[in-house]
Amino acid sequence: MTVDHPPVPGTALWVLSHPRKDSLNGHLFRAGTEALSTRREVMTTDLYAQGFAPALGDQDLGTPADRPGNLAELAGEAYLAGKSTAEVRAEHEKLARAELLVLQFPLWWYGPPAMMKGWLDRVLTDSFAYDRALDPETGMPRRYGDGGLTRRRALVVVSVGDDARTLGPRGVSGDLDSLLFPLTHGALWYVGIEALDLHVLHDADGLDAAGVARETDRLLARLEHLDDEASRPYRRLRDGDYPSHLRALDPGLLPGRTDLEIHRAG
Three-class secondary structure assignment of the chain: CCCCCCCCCCEEEEEECCCCCCCHHHHHHHHHHHHHCCCCEEEEEEHHHHCCCCCCCHHHCCCCCCCCCCHHHHHHHHHHCCCCCHHHHHHHHHHHHCCEEEEEEECECCECCHHHHHHHHHHCCECCCEEEEECCCCCCEECCCCCCCCCEEEEEEEECCCCCCCCCCCCCCCCHHHHCHHHHHHHHHHHCEEECCCEEECCHHHCCHHHHHHHHHHHHHHHHCHHHCCCCCECCHHHCCCCCCCCCCCCCCCCCCCCHHHHECC
pLDDT confidence of residue 136? 76
pLDDT confidence of residue 1? 58
Among 89, 185, 103, 92, smallest CA distance to 143 is for 185
Contact call for residues 118 and 111 (beta carbons, < 8 A)? no
pLDDT confidence of residue 237? 92
Domain edges within the chain: 11-263
Class of domain 11-263: alpha beta
d(CA 261, CA 184): 12
Contact call for residues 103 and 116 (beta carbons, < 8 A)? yes
The pLDDT profile of the chain, 266 residues, written as one tens digit per residue, is 567 899 999 999 999 999 999 999 999 999 999 999 999 999 999 999 999 999 999 999 987 767 888 999 999 999 999 999 999 999 999 999 999 999 999 999 999 999 999 999 999 999 999 987 777 777 778 899 998 999 999 999 999 999 999 999 999 999 999 999 999 999 999 999 999 999 999 999 999 999 999 999 999 999 999 999 988 899 999 999 998 877 899 999 999 999 999 999 97
d(CA 13, CA 221): 18
pLDDT confidence of residue 4? 87
pLDDT confidence of residue 132? 77
pLDDT confidence of residue 63? 79
pLDDT confidence of residue 2? 61
